[in-house]
Chain A
Amino acid sequence: MLQSGTNTVNAAEIAKFEAMAAEWWDLNGKFKPLHMLNPCRLDYITSQIAAEFARDLDDPQPFKGLRILDIGCGGGLLCEPMARLGADVLGVDAAPRNIPVAKLHAEQSGLKIDYRVGTAEALAAAGEQFDIVLNMEVVEHVDDPLGYLTACRQLLVCGGLHICSTLNRNSKSYVFAIIGAEHVMRWLPKGTHDWAKFITPEELFALLQKAGLDPVDRKGMVFNPLTWSWSLSERDLSVNYVTASIKP
Chain B
Amino acid sequence: MSDRTDIVIVGGGLNGPALALALAQGGFSVTVIDTLPVDTRADPGFDGRAYALALTSRRLLKAIGVWDRVKAEAQPMLEIKVSDGRAGEGPSPWMLHFDHAEIEEGPMGHLVEDRHLRRAFLDAMAKQPRITHRAGETVLAQVVGPLGITVTLSSGSEITGALLVGCDGRASGTAQRAGIGRTGWGYGQTAVVCAVSHEHPHGGVAHQFFMPHGPLAILPLTGHRSSIVWSETESRAAELMALDDDAFLAALRPAFGSFLGEIALAGGRYSYPLNLTLARSFIADRVALVGDAAHGVHPIAGQGLNAGLRDVAALADVLGAARRRGEDPGSAQALQRYQEWRRFDTATLAMATDVFNRLFSNDNPVLRGLRDLGMGAVNAVPALRRGFMREAAGLTGDLPELMRG
B-binding residues in A (CB < 8 A): 27, 35, 39, 42-43, 46, 57-60, 80-85, 108-110
Assuming A59-B27, A109-B147, is B327 touching A82 (CB within 8 A)? no
Assuming A42-B327, A81-B326, A110-B147, is B332 touching A27 (CB within 8 A)? yes
Q: Which residues of A contact B147 (CB under 8 A)?
A: 108-110
Which of B321, B326, B336 lies in contact with A85, CB distance below 8 A?
B326
- 8 A-B pairs within 8 Å (CB atoms) are namely A27-B336, A46-B326, A58-B26, A58-B324, A81-B327, A84-B328, A85-B326, A109-B328
Q: Which residues of A contact B325 (CB under 8 A)?
A: 39, 42-43, 46, 81
B157 within 8 A of A: no
Q: Residue among B324, B326, B336 with the most chain A CB within 10 A?
A: B326
State whether A60 touches B146 (Cβ < 8 A). Answer: no
B128 within 8 A of A: no
**A80 to B326 Cα, complex, angstroms:** 8
B326-340 with Cβ < 8 A to chain A: 326-328, 332-333, 336
How far in angstroms is the closest Cβ of chain B from A198? 27
Given contacts A27-B336, A39-B325, 16 further A-B contacts (CB under 8 A): A42-B325, A42-B326, A42-B327, A43-B325, A46-B325, A46-B326, A57-B324, A58-B26, A60-B27, A81-B325, A81-B326, A85-B326, A108-B146, A108-B147, A109-B146, A110-B147
Q: Which residues of A contact B26 (CB under 8 A)?
A: 58
**Closest A residue, CB atoms, query B25:** A58
**Closest B residue, CB atoms, query A1:** B147
Q: Residue among A35, A43, A58, A82 with the most chain B CB within 10 A?
A: A58
**A110 to B146 Cα, complex, angstroms:** 9
**Closest B residue, CB atoms, query A36:** B333
Q: List the 3 shortest-distance A-B pairs measured between CB atoms, nearest first.
A: A81-B326, A42-B325, A57-B324
State whether B326 touches A84 (Cβ < 8 A). Answer: yes
A-binding residues in B (CB < 8 A): 26-27, 146-147, 321, 324-328, 332-333, 336
**A46 to B326 Cα, complex, angstroms:** 8
Which of B321, B324, B333 lies in contact with A27, CB distance below 8 A?
B333
**A58 to B27 Cα, complex, angstroms:** 6
How far in angstroms is the closest Cβ of chain B from A60? 6
**A12 to B327 Cα, complex, angstroms:** 30
**Closest A residue, CB atoms, query B29:** A60
Q: Which residues of B contact A109 (CB under 8 A)?
A: 146-147, 328
Which of A39, A57, A84 lies in contact with B333, CB distance below 8 A?
A39
Q: Which residues of A contact B146 (CB under 8 A)?
A: 108-109
**A35 to B337 Cα, complex, angstroms:** 13
Q: Which residues of B contact A27 (CB under 8 A)?
A: 332-333, 336
State whether A35 touches B333 (Cβ < 8 A). Answer: yes
How far in angstroms is the closest Cβ of chain A from B1? 14
Q: Which residues of A contact B27 (CB under 8 A)?
A: 58-60
**Closest A residue, CB atoms, query B329:** A84
**A177 to B324 Cα, complex, angstroms:** 29
Q: Which residues of A contact B328 (CB under 8 A)?
A: 80, 84, 109
Q: Which residues of A contact B324 (CB under 8 A)?
A: 46, 57-58
**A77 to B26 Cα, complex, angstroms:** 23
Q: Which residues of B contact A60 (CB under 8 A)?
A: 27
Q: Which residues of A contact B332 (CB under 8 A)?
A: 27
**Closest A residue, CB atoms, query B332:** A27
**A180 to B32 Cα, complex, angstroms:** 47
Q: Which residues of B contact A35 (CB under 8 A)?
A: 333
**A110 to B6 Cα, complex, angstroms:** 14
Q: Residue among B27, B146, B325, B333 with the most chain A CB within 10 A?
A: B325
Q: Which residues of B contact A43 (CB under 8 A)?
A: 325
How far in angstroms is the closest Cβ of chain A from B255? 48
How far in angstroms is the closest Cβ of chain B from A42? 4
**Closest A residue, CB atoms, query B334:** A39
Q: Which residues of B contact A85 (CB under 8 A)?
A: 326
**Closest B residue, CB atoms, query A39:** B325
**Closest A residue, CB atoms, query B327:** A81
**A81 to B325 Cα, complex, angstroms:** 7
How far in angstroms is the closest Cβ of chain B from A29? 12
Q: Residue among B27, B321, B336 with the most chain A CB within 10 A?
A: B27
**A43 to B26 Cα, complex, angstroms:** 17
**Closest A residue, CB atoms, query B28:** A60
**Closest B residue, CB atoms, query A79:** B326
How far in angstroms is the closest Cβ of chain B from A64? 12
How far in angstroms is the closest Cβ of chain B from A10? 21
Q: Which residues of A contact B336 (CB under 8 A)?
A: 27
Q: Which residues of A contact B321 (CB under 8 A)?
A: 39
**A60 to B333 Cα, complex, angstroms:** 21
Q: Which residues of B contact A57 (CB under 8 A)?
A: 324
**A90 to B327 Cα, complex, angstroms:** 18
**A109 to B329 Cα, complex, angstroms:** 12
How far in angstroms is the closest Cβ of chain B from A206? 30
